[in-house]
Amino acid sequence: MGTAVEKDNMFSDSDEVLIGLEIHVQLTKLKTKLFCGCATDYRGKEPNTYVCPICLGLPGTLPVVNKKAIDFAIMVGLALECEIPSKTFFYRKNYYYPDMPKNYQISQYNKAGGVPIGLGGHVTIEINKQKKTINLTRIQLEEDPGRLTYLGSITSSDYTLVDYNRAGITLLEIVTEPDLRSPREARLFLQKLRSIIEHLGVADGSLEGSMRCDANISIRGGNRVEVKNISSFKAVQKALQFELIRQRRQKADGVKTVMETRHWDDEKGITISLRTKEEEHDYRYFPEPDLVPIEITPDWIEKIRNQMPELPDARRERFIRDYQIPPYDAGVLTSSKALADFFENCIKLYNHPKIISNWIMSDLLRHLNDLNIEINESTVTPEQFVNMLKYIDTGTISRRSAKKVLWDMIREGKPPEQIIQEDGHQRIGDENVIRQFVDEIFKEYPQAVQDAIKDDKAINFLSGQVMRKTRGTADPKITYQLIKEKIDLLRKKAN
Amino acid sequence: MASFYELTAYELHSMLQNGDITAEELIYSLFDRIQKTETKIKAYITLLKENAINQARLLDKKLRNSNFFGILAGIPIAIKDNICTKNIRTTCSSKMLDNYVPPYNATVIERILAEGGIIIGKTNMDEFAMGTTTESSYYQITHNPWSLEHVPGGSSGGSAAAVAADETILALGSDTGGSIRCPASFCNITGIKVSYGSISRYGLISYACSLEQIGPLTKDVRDCALLLNVLVGRDPYDSTTLNRPKIDFLATLDEDIKGLRIGIPKEFMGTGTAEAVSKAVWNAVHLLESFGVTYDEISIPLIDYAVPCYYIIAMSEASSNLARYDGIRYGYRVEKDEGEWNEIFAEDRLAFGPEVRRRIMLGTYALSAGYYDMYYLKALKVRTLLRNQFEAQFKSYDIILGPTMPTTPFKIGEMISDPLAMYRTDIDTVAANVTGLPAISIPCGFSDGLPIGLQLIGNSLQEELLLRVAYKFQQETDYHKKKPPIGG
Amino acid sequence: MHITKDQVEHIAWLARIKLTEEEKENYTKLFNDILDYFRKIDEVDTSNIDYTFHGVDIKNVFRDDTIRPSLPKEDIFKNVPKRKDNFVKAPRMV
């Protein structure tokens, strides 16, 4: 599995990579499904709990469109700079699968008279300090199928278990042009996309399975391989990395890459060729006769535009402007809504944006990355974070101690007060206590004492040793003062 | 003195209101009748005697103790077995749904129950509404009360036969290509297909979405209007229903029809039309003329293409609507546990009869890559043209008239082995489905004891006009009052 | 000849309909007759004509994003032929 971390440019640069993504985003902020009134918060619930005759596709049932889904889709289209058509339609995509209750999916289509809810569009990402535009083909609405589980693996199971809780949930499909040039770019794109989606308030990307991705990847001139079953954005870079290396190796060995669909196995970290029966993908698209066309007026679009929340790019500019933090930092802070919100919530409690920003950038994020969790998966709240900073200000803990306190806060999930008390990070402000440490150091380092008598600069060394001995908790000012007093005394005696 | 079961809903309504009869008495009267005739007719798949008696008793109590008097209070009604009734088996006359029990009511059922109607049974039909004779039912052949060797028409043959044989007071059917009007014509009763979007399809087990409507099958036009008052209206559960202003269809029934203009397309009176049928239709036209109605012979050339146009659209939609029957969530499932998805799927679908399987296949073909433009899209354009031609005629005419069916009822077994010949008999009825226009069929004569039906087609949302003309016709004739011999 | 026996078999597969050998033979003839009849619509000049996709001419029919009760489990499962715990049991996939 070590292959996943190998660098992108392992082989020759002339092997240009073409990656296109097809992303499915659940609009999790909708309370009900796309075509019926069933609730959508199915995660963690018993199977087949949020199911009704309509989403179960019982004979005689009919779909009715959730207006808010259209509002949300238009909003996403605007944020992604798509062209919103004046008329859009739902189509049937006919195929048979046990997770599709009607054995057709109500979706949208961009041919045979069909018009999806957003055409074109683009997303700007920053890579290697340069801006890059990733073009989109279209965005469209469709219903999510149910979930299949197996006893064991898909190939060994005797039967399939179906849960229809998810059937009928609103999906927004976003399709990119093959403009991405590396697995890393793909990850950055997805990160940006997620940030935009979350800033719009239409979906919560941290929910399991709420953002899924299929990828198409090829080496220029070679055959395109579709990779399916990538169920989290995190896995996308890994999957693409694996597939890229696999294709490059094939090319180097003179083997032609087969044009096929491969399945990503997240556990094993490999893509597998699914040896399915030669299946004709004739979806026989035709307009959904049970639904009527949707006319999107300029008024409607304006209304949505006026209600649009602040987008990541605008927020980034505001951070730079209002908080005077560097562009790079602003970019990192707005790369996720949760992080940007955390940042601004901290500022509300403690109006020192630059300090907060520094602490987030240098310490908080590093720890989160080490633990491979996101800000909203950690227990650290803005209140706790800010309290920690305030303890530094009041001198209760030193800056150095604070770094350890933060690490403990994240790892153990405790508030700063508790950690400071338990681990003895409390800064020592008592002169008598510090004097004892100073005396000890003077005994341990006689040569340094002599150096200090000759030159004040060497006091720093002694000071440093006191800090070391007290694990950074001795008040530095008092420490320095005490040492200087003692040195001055010794200097006088010598002279 | 007529027995209770021979009366119309309109007549019974006032009798029930006056206390001349209780709902329970009416139910007993009806089930006595059913017991006598049903072995010959076989109109019902499921009879709900106990349920009906209970409902009737509850209703009688309610009627005594409150001001409630719904439009259908105490009136027995038979429901075609493709309309979902909660907790009551609904089969579409198919082995595929032999054991299916819907957990919800169709909207039309909710409306009927809210007005006090009593559901007495589910009636036989062509499997999944695909047919013109009710012969393709998995369960049984329904016999025409006018001649037991003849078909009752289809696909709502069971409902029509039940009304004609006084085995129910009212019935619901569905009409995709003539499935209400054809059996109305063959059984000498009244049936109407409303303008598309007027009655909710929620709970109607789908055959062809953009063509079908639920509608009444009744003893006369007045009962038809009564039932329409309950059924017509927008339904939030059906996106294709229109926001029609509320009308009382009974109120305008006896308004004058003088000065109305009738157009008679020659394409409806073509060479396939039996002489007796032609004669009966012209007699009807002359009678209407005597009431101050004028007529012209006109031409709507696209009528000759309406049948292929209809079948392409219907089969295409059907192939998709019936894809859901895989035996996983409901319906027929083979016993064995082993076997892979596609294999089991195909085996479960052996529960469909031959006509259903053929239509699914042809519909799949018409939608498939390479053929979609040639068949489906082309048909949709022909549909537009047909609509345009009818609309053009409605500028000069109020009603377009012709026979409902080109012949009197076929003999049982006569048409079933020649699907294409069967399809062609829909020549008079399908245009109304393809265009979404309202059309009614009323009795207008007999030939050798077999009924002939007159069809009136109106412009969109003009059911009132159709009912008015039909009502006047029934005031001046007594074809609709005649009772069938029922093989004896 | 609009459709060959092979095509009939292919369509049967696409529609997940199982046919006997006899049916494959019979249907080939029957389908050709029917398709012949369908192709009558080729005679109609439909240049510059729009499609009529729907039965009605209405637009923008929606519902609110308000939760409605779901079906109780007994109602879902009373028609389910094969069940395991709270799952619907389907055949294996490959």
- The verdict on C31 touching B (C-beta cutoff 8 Å) is yes
A493: pLDDT strictly greater than 60: yes
Other beta carbons less than 10 A from residue A441's beta carbon: 22
Task: Tell me the CATH number at C32.
Answer: 1.10.20
Q: Are A98 and B324 in contact (CB < 8 Å)?
A: no
The residue from B93, B136, B137, B155 that is catalytic is: B155
* Ranges A247-261, B141-155, B233-247, C10-24: which has the least confidence: A247-261
ipTM of the prediction:
0.96
| Residue B388 DSSP symbol | H
Same domain, A470 and A322: no
Task: Tell me whether residue B481 is one of the annotated catalytic residues.
Answer: no
Mean pLDDT of B322-338: 94
- Sorted by where each begins, the domain ranges of chain B are 4-259+438-481
Inform me whether the pLDDT recorded for B283 exceeds 90. Answer: yes
Total domains present in chain C: 1
Q: How far is A228 from chain B (nearest CA, A)?
A: 20
Comparing A423-437, B287-301, C13-27, the range with the smallest average pLDDT is: A423-437
Low-confidence winner among A174-178, B421-425, C50-54 (lowest mean pLDDT) = C50-54
The C-alpha angle A82, A85, A87, rounded to 5 degrees, equals 155
- Residues C63-88 as b/e (b if ≥16 CB within 10 A, e otherwise) read bebeeeebbeeebbeebbbeeeeebb
pLDDT greater at residue A403 or residue C80: C80
What's the predicted TM-score (pTM) here?
0.91
B80 counts as catalytic: yes
The residue among B390, B406, B479 whose CA lies nearest residue B442 is B479
Query: What is the Cα A174 distance to its own chain's centre?
Result: 17
pLDDT at A13 > cutoff 80? no
Q: Please report, for the domain that includes residue A446, its CATH number.
A: 1.10.10.410
Q: Is A66 in the same domain as A215?
A: yes
**CA gap C89, C81 in Å, rounded:** 8
Q: How many CB atoms lie within 10 A of CB A110?
A: 15
Q: What are phi and psi of B376, to 5 degrees?
A: -60, -55
Residues A81, A230: one domain?
yes
Q: Which of A52, A158, A293 sits opposite C70 (nearest CB)?
A: A52
Q: Which domain holds residue A372?
A: 310-423
Residue A51 to chain C, least CA–CA distance (Å) = 5
Question: Which residues does A325 contact at the CB level (< 8 Å), separation at least 6?
Answer: A319, A333, A353, A354, A357
Contact C88 A70 (CB under 8 A): no
Under 8 Å between Cβ of A344 and A376: no
Residues A233 and A347 in one domain: no
* C88 contact B CB<8A: yes
Chain C residues lying within 8 Å of A299, measured CB to CB? none
pLDDT for B240 beyond 90: yes
CB contact under 8 A, A68 and C65: yes
User: What value does the mean pLDDT of chain B take?
Assistant: 96
pLDDT in tens, A283-338: 999 999 999 999 999 999 999 999 999 999 999 999 999 999 999 999 999 999 99
Statement: B4-259+438-481 belongs to CATH 3.90.1300.10: yes
Cα atoms in the Cβ-side hemisphere of radius 13 Å centred on B186: 37
Q: Are residues A83 and A212 in the same domain?
A: yes
Q: Which residue of B has its CA nearest to C19?
A: B350
Residue A236 pLDDT greater than 80, yes or no? yes
Proportion of chain A above pLDDT 90, given as a percent: 62
Q: Nearest by CB to C68, which of A37, A164, A289? A: A37
Q: Do A225 and A208 belong to one domain?
A: yes
Calculate the average pLDDT of chain A: 90
Residue C85 placed within a domain = no
Q: Is the CB of residue B396 less than 8 Å from the CB of residue B294?
A: no
Q: How many A-B residue pairs are in contact by the CB < 8 A criterion? A: 102
Q: pLDDT tens-digit profile of A466-484? A: 888 887 778 888 889 999 9
Q: Are B30 and B38 in contact (CB under 8 A)?
A: no
For residue B155, is the peptide bond before it cis, meaning its omega torsion is within 30 degrees of 0?
A: yes
* Amino acid A276: pLDDT: 53
Active site residue B206: no
* Closest-CA residue of chain C to A275: C94
Cβ distance A37 to C58 less than 8 Å, yes or no, reads no
Q: What is the pLDDT of residue A15?
A: 61
Is residue C47 less than 8 Å (CB to CB) from chain A? no
Collapsed DSSP state (helix, strand, coil) of residue A149 = strand
Pair A475, A450 in one domain: yes
Token pair for residue B387? 């609509």
Q: Are residues A352 and A334 in the same domain?
A: yes
Which two structure tokens, joined as six digits, stand for A331?
């970019």
| pLDDT for B155 | 97
Q: Does C91 touch chain A (CB under 8 A)?
A: yes
β-pair partners for A140: A173
CA–CA distance, B360 with C32 (Å, rounded to integer) = 15
Contact A56 B329 (CB under 8 A): yes
Helix (H, G, I), strand (E, B) or coil at A162: strand
Percent of chain B with pLDDT over 90: 94
Question: Chain A contact for B326, CB < 8 A?
Answer: yes
| Same domain, yes or no: A317 and A238 | no
Least confident of A99-108, B123-132, B304-313, B334-343: B334-343
pLDDT at A34 (0 to 100): 98
- Residue C2 has what pLDDT? 81
Q: Out of B179, B200, B206, B441, which one is annotated catalytic?
A: B179
CA A381 to chain centre: 18
Of A253-267, B263-277, B383-397, the least confident? A253-267
The secondary element (H helix, E strand) that includes residue B450 is strand B450-458
Give contacts of C54 with chain A, Cβ < 8 Å.
287, 289, 292-293
Taking CB atoms and an 8 Å limit, are A48 and C86 in contact across chains?
A: yes
CB B455 within 8 A of CB B428: yes
User: pLDDT for B243-257, tens place per residue?
Assistant: 999 999 999 999 999
Say yes or no to pLDDT of A172 above 60.
yes
Q: Which chains neighbour B (Cβ–Cβ under 8 Å, 3 or more pairs)?
A: A, C
Q: Which one of A406, A423, A440 terminates a domain?
A: A423
CB under 8 Å to B223, separation ≥6 — which residues? B8, B9, B10, B169, B170, B190, B216
| A442 and A356 part of one domain | no
Please tell me the predicted confidence (pLDDT) of residue B218. 98
Q: Are residues A269 and A385 in the same domain?
A: no
**pLDDT interval class at B2 (50, 70, 90):** confident
Could you tell me the residue range of the domain that residue C36 belongs to? 5-42
The number of folded domains in chain A is 3
The token duo for A212 is: 């899924």
CB count within 10 Å of CB B251 equals 11
Pair A118, A238 in one domain: yes
CB A231 within 8 A of CB A209: yes
Q: Do A161 and C54 touch (CB under 8 A)?
A: no
Chains with ≥3 Cβ pairs under 8 A against C? Answer: A, B
Report phi then psi at B123, rounded to 5.
-100, 160
Overall average pLDDT of the B366-376 stretch: 92
Q: Give yes or no for residue A280 having a pLDDT over 80.
A: no
- Chain A residues close to B338, C-beta within 8 Å: 158
From the list A32, A96, A292, which residue is nearest C67 (CB)? A32
